[in-house]
Amino acid sequence: MAEFETGQPGVRQIQSFIKDQQRVEVKLLTGDVMVGKVRWQDANCLYLYDVEPEAESMIVWRHAIAYVKA
């Protein structure tokens, strides 16, 4: 299992999205795009909620993510 390194810039950036409850766009390697808020992250996943257009929640595996942008 990958070690969760909280000092890494990418982890800190996601933490700021969580703290600010900022909506983000997550593009997957499949080309699918989801827009929502990140509730939590761990070494393997992000949890998105209020995901448009269905307003659902989902766990996204980090290895499936192409990018995350605010």
pLDDT of residue 49: 94
pLDDT of residue 2: 62
pLDDT of residue 55: 76
pLDDT of residue 1: 54
State the pairing for strand pair 45-52/33-41. Answer: antiparallel
pLDDT of residue 52: 76
Q: What is the DSSP string of 3-67?
A: ---TTSHHHHHHHHHHHHT-EEEEEETTS-EEEEEEEEE-SSEEEEEEEETTTEEEEEEGGGEEE
Rounded Cα gap, residues 5 and 24, in angstroms: 21
Which residues of the chain fall short of a pLDDT of 70?
A: 1-2
Structure tokens at 25: 């766009």
Instruction: Return the CATH fold of 9-69.
Output: SH3 type barrels. (2.30.30)
